[in-house]
Amino acid sequence: MSCQKASHRMRIQTAIFIGIAYCLCGCLDRQPKDWVDAGRLPGVWPDYNDVTIPPNIAPLNFLVKEHGDRYYIQIRSTLGRPVEVCSRSGAIKIPIKQWRQLVQSNIGQDLSIEVYVQASDGRWQRFMPLVIHVASDPVDRYLVYRLIRPLFMYVGRMGLYQRDLTSFAERPILLNTATGGNCINCHAFHNYNPDRMILHMRAGKIGTYMLMAYDGQVFKVDTKTEFNHATSYRCWHPDGRTIAFAFNIVRQVFHARGQTRDVYDRASDLLVYDAIGHRASTSVQISSPRRMETYPEWSPDGRFLYLCSGPALEDVNGMPEPHKAMRYDLMRIPYEPQSRTFGQIEMVLNTSQMGLSAAHPKISPDGRYLLVCISDCTYFPLYRPESDLYLLDLSTGRFSKAENINSAQAEGYHCWSSNGRWVIFSSKREDGECTHLYLCYFDKDGHFHKPFLMPQQDPAYHSMQVVVYNLPEFLKAPIRMSPRALVRAAWSKRILKTTLDPTVASRLRQPVEDVPYTSLGTR
């Protein structure tokens, strides 16, 4: 009798298990045997067809945008066991272990994704297979970015996050809910090293300071001197000690029609900061009273500082549309690391003469290529729908719009991977408002491949969340500094005060008058 009861319980448990599996998977059968050919590619989102991926990327989960009651997906390649996924909703979540095994077995090969959709009458359709190319070059495992809301004037909830690109693990580095609701921004790392990091805090109860994590210690730094305001845009020198900063008086302007927002500077210059001695210095070449310099970027060998340079505000103020005359050229200046001195500034791209404006220059780790945002005017590309990424070959001087990666919406901040084979960039291509992150392969012949949206565990995540991904930066290892240590330093009363190089102090310029931004139409 007991054996009969046990057998009965086992049958019930088996039936329950099968029922749960049926509900979760949406189908029990393997690959459908009877189907009709749709004769076209399936509608999927994100669009992962014909993209090139690193061999260590997380699964490319996606949504099938075809009406149906059941969905069957098979991912196969030359080697390894195919991966099968069933769904009732069209949300395809690929098992991470099976995905890794298949991708790692087929480095340098293609993956084929076959999509089957069952209609309400029980008939199956098979669509033309999606193709994914697996590159042999891996991407840096970790990525840091800021997540904010698409706000105009007010600081909302925001934070810095670290993402493991080989999985879907994301953790906060610092949230502004722990720092008094202030603005946290302008993070940067030395040579993909998580142990040397800076970020800025602005306003709120804490005030405007820089946090600098340096080899296990955290410092709260006041970067203001009698020469400069608090610093902002930044770049570490390869020596791991020197940081180039911009310091700006930033204003936002709203237009009555068309693109409603723009950002402009009332003043902007560059300085060089010594992270060990906490001293700031500059040169008239990079802090000219007749120009506005911003977006510093060191060459990988540390021998040049690249920057964007635009006209002073008084040179355009009073024009019918002053912001359209604010066009930034790409320039560079030689730098001698031993003596910490600059040479003579020189033009790299005279974009203003082309009727264009340059922003965010980023040089590939091998020093050959420079990727830069180009828009019609100003230096804040994400507010310019026409902003595109352009590639400059520094060895030949060839300058052209980067192939395959631009869209009808704004492309913005970007970062090279440490091996120079991958670029991640922010784009508003999905809806024109929110920026999302796209990864793109850059092959050894200097060609970009079709970019793909950073994968998420929930493939509907990007369509459900109203967020802005900001300032993506690759890392070779995870950040070891705890959020608690950063918060403790942020609230600390112990503040390192930046001193000014005496040679700069001796030639201080007059403070910039805080005059309104005007046009002929507003006078």
Q: Report pLDDT for 381.
A: 84
Q: How far apart are CA 452 and CA 60, in angstroms?
A: 9
Residue type, 188: A
Query: Which of these ranges, 104-118, 159-173, 306-320, has the smallest mean pLDDT?
Result: 306-320
SS3 at position 13 = helix
Residue 153 per-residue DSSP state: S
Q: How far apart are CA 90 and CA 62, in angstroms?
A: 8
Confidence band, pLDDT 50/70/90 cuts, at residue 512? very low
Pairing of strands 496-497, 217-222: parallel
Query: Which of these ranges, 4-13, 41-50, 209-218, 368-377, has the smallest mean pLDDT?
Result: 4-13
Instruction: Please name the residues in contact with 134: beta carbons below 8 A apart, sequence gap of 6 or more.
Output: 52, 53, 55, 77, 103, 106, 107, 108, 109, 110, 111
Query: Average pLDDT in the 348-352 region?
Result: 97
Q: Which residues pair with 217 in a beta bridge?
A: 214
CATH code for residues 142-505: 2.120.10.30
Average pLDDT of the chain is 89
Query: Average pLDDT in the 394-407 region?
Result: 96
Q: Report pLDDT for 364.
A: 98
Q: How far apart are CA 250 and CA 383, in angstroms?
A: 14
Higher model confidence: residue 133 or residue 29? 133
Query: Average pLDDT in the 108-120 region?
Result: 97
Helix (H) or strand (E) holding 83: strand 83-87
Pairing of strands 51-53, 130-134: parallel
Does 35-134 match 142-505 in CATH topology? no
| Tokens read off for 523 | 């006078």
Domain layout of the chain by residue ranges: 35-134, 142-505
CA-based R_g, the chain, Å: 26
**What's the pLDDT tens digit per position in 178-215?**
999 999 999 999 999 999 999 999 888 999 999 999 99
Instruction: Please name the residues in contact with 111: beta carbons below 8 A apart, sequence gap of 6 or more.
Output: 75, 76, 77, 102, 103, 131, 132, 133, 134
Token pair 């069952």 is at which residue? 118
| Tokens read off for 270 | 């560059």
CATH code for residues 35-134: 2.60.40.3760
Residue 449 per-residue DSSP state: P
